Amino acid sequence: MAGAIDMSRVSWPDVAEALERGVIAVLAVGAVEQHGAHLPLTTDADLAHGVARRIADGLGALLLPPVAYGDAWNNEAFPGTLSISPETLRAVLEDIGRGLIRMNVEALVLVNGHFGNREPIALAARTLTGQGLPVLHLDYPRLEALAVQICESEPAGSGFYHADEVETAMMLALRPQAVDMSRAAAEYPEFPVTFGHEPMQLREFNTTGVFGDPRPATAGKGEALIAGIVEASLQLVEAFRLRHKGHEVTDGNAQ
């Protein structure tokens, strides 16, 4: 394994050397958002950066400091949640991307840890790809299949993982000291019929902030989930690199 070039540890001459060889960048995008009583507010950024680190390790890529804030509007009714607008997130990603273009980074891999970020990420990716920086955006690929295999509890909604067994297990693997299992409790809220079809604060129908059952989570399950996500991510990065090898990216190629 090549090992990441972690910007929190290296200096500019190290980056210059990597650029000389040709390098891609990996950037995690998280959120500052409630995750029940047993997980910290930085959970999404912690998980995304942990996954991004392993992807960057596998690629020998430049690991950027994470974007810790995201669009967490629908959790704002819980104290501690601090959301930025989708326009702000998109602008932040495009600004970072412009810097990467100036440095001649070959491509950018975005590792998203929070559902609400998907739209601004996809739009920023489209802009940057059009400007000559190919962007691959990942949302924990293969997670649904892995969760079925590895986890014991049912998710609260299909593909909906929030402060549940999945996220708690991944936190136990990455930052066990930040998890308080003595406060972990299950909640399976009843989703309003129009959920997903109108803007809605989650606190209207959820009291604890947990969606599902975090109690069966273990660090071992978290390791298995992360390993599966990283493997699926590296396969996508490989396909992405092959697709961009040897031909210029044009607007028509952007998604």
Q: Which spans of this chain sit near Zn ion (rule: CB under 5 A)?
A: 44, 167
Give whichever of 44 and 57 is closer to Zn ion, judged by the CB atom: 44
CB of 78 to Zn ion, least distance (A): 12
Give whichever of 23 and 29 is closer to Zn ion, judged by the CB atom: 29
CB of 31 to Zn ion, least distance (A): 7
Q: Which residue blocks in 131-191 are alpha helix, DSSP H?
A: 143-150, 165-174
What one-character-per-residue DSSP string does 60-74 give? T-EEPPPB-----GG
| Structure token digits, residue 48 | 């995304």
Give whichever of 44 and 71 is closer to Zn ion, judged by the CB atom: 44
CB 2 within 8 A of CB 57: yes
CB of 146 to Zn ion, least distance (A): 16
CB of 162 to Zn ion, least distance (A): 5
| Structure token digits, residue 183 | 């406060």
CB atoms within 10 A of CB 163: 27
| Residue nearest to Zn ion as judged by C-beta position | 44
| Structure token digits, residue 244 | 């961009």
CB 51 within 8 A of CB 88: no
Give whichever of 139 and 167 is closer to Zn ion, judged by the CB atom: 167
CB of 42 to Zn ion, least distance (A): 10
Give whichever of 112 and 233 is closer to Zn ion, judged by the CB atom: 112
Nearest to 61 by CA among 1, 121, 102: 1
